Chain A
Amino acid sequence: MRILPMAKIVLKSLFRKAATQMYPLITKEYYPATRGKVLNDTEFCIYCGMCQRKCPAGAIEVIRAKRYWALDPKRCVTCNYCVEVCPKKCMTMDKRYTAPSTN
C-alpha cells in the first residue's frame, strides 16, 4: 500500500522482542576488545613515565621520586596507547566503563 508502507514494519515490531534492554536491571555484556577505562597495577609499575610522555591527551601524571601515578579520567580519551607502550605491561584496559559516581 502506498500510503502506509511503514505500517507493516511497525506491526511486525509490535509482536517481536524489544530491541532495547532494561538498562539498570540488565547490563550490556562488553566485548573483550572494548576500551572502557585504563587501570594500572602500581605494584609492578616502575614509574618510568613512558605512559605520561606518550599520552596524546596529557591525562597521566607520573612523579618517579614520589612513586606517584595518577590518571585524570576526565582528560583520558581511552585510546589504549599507554597500555601498548607500557614496558612492564602493568597497565591494562578494562572493558567496563567508569561507573557513574553516586554520592
Chain B
Amino acid sequence: MGERTVIPFGPQHPVLLEPLHLDLVIEDEKVVKAMPSWGFVHRGLEKLAEKRDFIEFPFVAERICGVCSHSHGMAYTQAIEALMSLEIPVRAKYLRTILAEFSRINSHLLWLGLLANALGFESLFMHCWKLREKILDIVEETTGGRVIFGACRVGGVNRDIDAPTLARMSRLFTGMEKGFREIDGVFRKDYTVQKRLQETGALSRADAHLLGAVGPVAKGSGIPCDMRRLGYSVYNELDFQAVVETEGDSYARTSVRIKEIFQSVGLIQQAIAKIPAGEVSMKITGLPPVGEHFEMVEQPRGEAVYYVKGNGTRFLERFRVRNSTFANIPALLKILEGCELSDVPMLILSIDPCISCAER
C-alpha cells in the first residue's frame, strides 16, 4: 500500500476549465477520495432578486449561466406565471419550447466538442462546433442573441417567429441530421473514444438514486429522470420518451447526450408542426401575491429547481435556484473514488459541470 498524498486540483488548472477546487487524496495513482470546495464565482444573484423588479429579473436570471441561459429564463418566467396564476398564450409556450430544444442541441454539441478536445481529438472538436454554429446562427436570427437568447419575458416571449422562418428552422435539420449521424458514428466507433470512456467512472443505478443524480448522469445510470415528462410548457402535447442507458459509465453519459440531440430535433419538428397562431405575449397587471412556488425544468445538464416567494410587492421575498451541477456533485465525488489520476479531468467533464450555475 502506497503513501497517501493530497493533490489540490483547480480552480486554476490547465486541464480543468471550470472554477471548481478539489482536494484529491491519492494513493499511488489511484484517487481514494475527493473533497470539493467552491465559491470562486459566487455573484449573489439570488439576493439581487429582492432588489430588482420581477418583470426585469428574467434578464438577470438568463445571465446565471451562458449555455443553458434560455432554460433559466424559462424556469423563472414559468415560476412567476404560476405564482401569479397567469395563463400565457399557447403560441408563446410553443416558441419557448422550440428555443429550449435549440438550446439543448447547442449545449450538447458544445459539450461533445469539449469532450473531444479533452480527448485530444481536435478534428472532432472542430466538427462538433462547426455544427453548433448553424444552431447559433438561426437562434441569433430569430431571437437577437447568439448565447443569451433573451427571449423569455413574464407573460410570453419578446418577439414572434413568422411561419417561413419556422419552416426554415424545421428544414435546417434535414441537412444537419447527416452531420449529427457522422459525429454519432465517430463517438460510437472510434477506438480512442471507446478506450477513454468505456468502463471509466461507472455509477450504479442504486448509487445514482441514493446520491440524487439528475439529467444525463442519472439517465446514463438507467434512471429515466426527465423533468420534461412532467409536461410543463407544451411538453405534454409532444410525443417523446426519456433517453436511458444502463451502463452508467462515461460512455453511457456521452451516448445519452448524443441521443438527446436526435430527440430534440424530433421535438422541434413536432412543435413546429403543431404551433397554433395567435398572440405571443400578454400584458401583465398586478403584482406577485403572497405565496410561493416551486418550478422544475429540464435543462440540458439536468433538472433545475426554481423557488420563488412573493410578498405582494414588485420585489420577491426570496428566490432560490438549485441547479443540476449542484445536484450532481455528490455523484461526481462517488465517480472519482477509485479512478486513475489521469482520468480525473475527463470524469469531471463527463457530468457536464457548470460552476457558474451552481454558485449563482
Query: Interface residues of B: mostly helix, strand, loop or mixed?
Result: helix
A-B contact count (CB 8 A): 57
Q: Is residue B28 contacting chain A, with contact meaning CB distance below 8 A?
A: no
Name B144's contact: one of A13, A77, A80 (CB within 8 Å). Answer: A80
Is the pair A33, B142 in contact by a Cβ cutoff of 8 Å? Answer: yes
Please, which residue of chain B has its CB at the minimum distance from the CB of A84? B158
* Residue pair A31, B141 in contact (C-beta under 8 Å): yes
Contacts of A3 in B (CB 8 A): 191
Q: Assuming the A-B contacts A9-B127, A35-B144, are A56 and B59 also in contact, with contact meaning beta carbons closer than 8 angstroms in the complex?
A: yes
List, in ascending order, chain A residues with CB within 8 A of B182's CB.
9
Beyond A5-B189, A6-B124, A80-B150, is A56–B52 a contact (Cβ under 8 Å)? yes
Q: B-facing mask of A49-90, CB < 8 A → 1, else 0?
A: 000001011000000000000000000011111001000000
By the criterion CB–CB under 8 Å, are A77 and B59 in contact?
yes
Q: Which residue of A lies closest to B141 (CB)?
A: A31
Chain B residues positioned under 8 Å from A31 (CB to CB) = 140-141, 144
**What is the CB-to-nearest-CB distance from B238 to chain A, in angstroms, rounded to a whole number?**
26
Q: Is the CB of A80 within 8 A of B158?
A: yes
Known: A3-B191, A6-B186, A6-B190. A77 touches B158 (CB 8 A): no
Contact A77 B143 (CB under 8 A): no
Q: Which DSSP category, helix, strand, loop or mixed, fits chain A's interface?
A: loop
Shortest distance between the CB of A47 and any CB in chain B (Å): 21
Which residues of chain B come closer than 8 Å to A78, judged between CB atoms? 145
CA–CA, A16 and B219, complex, Å: 38
Q: Is there a chain A Cβ closer than 8 Å to B279's Cβ?
A: no
The interface size bin for chain B is 20 to 34
Q: Indicate whether A42 reaches chain B with its CB closer than 8 angstroms.
A: no
* A32, closest chain B residue (CB): B141
Task: Specify which chain A residues have a CB less than 8 angstroms from the CB of B191 in the assembled complex.
Answer: 2-3
Is B56 an interface residue, CB under 8 A from the partner? yes
Q: Is A10 an interface residue (CB 8 A)?
A: yes
Q: Which of B57, B133, B140, B142 has the most CB of A within 10 A?
A: B140
- Collect the chain A residues with CB atoms within 8 Å of residue B85's CB: none
Shortest Cβ-Cβ A-B pairs, 10 listed: A33-B144, A31-B141, A56-B59, A79-B59, A35-B144, A5-B189, A56-B56, A5-B186, A19-B130, A6-B186
